Amino acid sequence: MRIAGFGFRRSATLASLTEALERLEACHGPADRLAAADSMRPTVQALGEARGLETLAVPDETLASAETLTHSPRSRRARGTGSVAEAVAILAAGPSGELLGPRRVSADRRATAAMAIAAMTTDTPAGDIA
């Protein structure tokens, strides 16, 4: 299962997220689910509803625990992680999850998306991540 995680600025629009997702899917194939930090979920959920995809929520306080491929100083200061999109994707994918590559950035530089693959097991995430 492919899970697309998102990070974005407050000024990001649904179009920003859509473009980041399209860039990501061009590299890694279609997402099966979307994921966002709890505090960012409403915007990503709107994208999920438009695409018919479930949106998973990841607790904000867990972001710093994820190993990311990208190391943005701005993201580190704001959220305690090198990449919110990568952290969300890998955390939503669960303990056996694996990032498929670094995040992709929308042309307006307001949104990022990263893809992780989750093993299909009885532990595969559904709904909120605790």
Secondary structure (DSSP) of 48-103: HHHHT--EEEE-GGGGGGS--S---HHHHHHHSSS-HHHHHHHHHH-TT-EE-SS-
State yes or no: pLDDT of 124 exceeds 60. no
- The counts of H helices and E strands in the chain are 4, 6
pLDDT at 121: 54
Bridge partners of 55, per DSSP, are 34
Provide the pLDDT for residue 72.
87
At residue 75, the pLDDT reads 85
Percent of the chain with pLDDT over 70: 92
Write down the mean pLDDT value for the chain: 91
| Tokens linked to 67 | 């190993």
- pLDDT per residue over 64-91, tens digit each? 999 999 998 888 888 889 899 999 999 9
Domain-by-domain residue ranges, the chain?
2-117
Considering the entire predicted model, what is its pTM? 0.88
Q: Could you give the 3-state DSSP secondary structure of residue 121?
A: coil
Res. 57: pLDDT tops 50 = yes
CA trace torsion 64, 87, 44, 15 (10° rounding): 120
- To the question of domain 2-117 being in CATH 3.50.50.60, the answer is no
- State the Cα angle at 25 between 24 and 28, rounded to 5°: 90
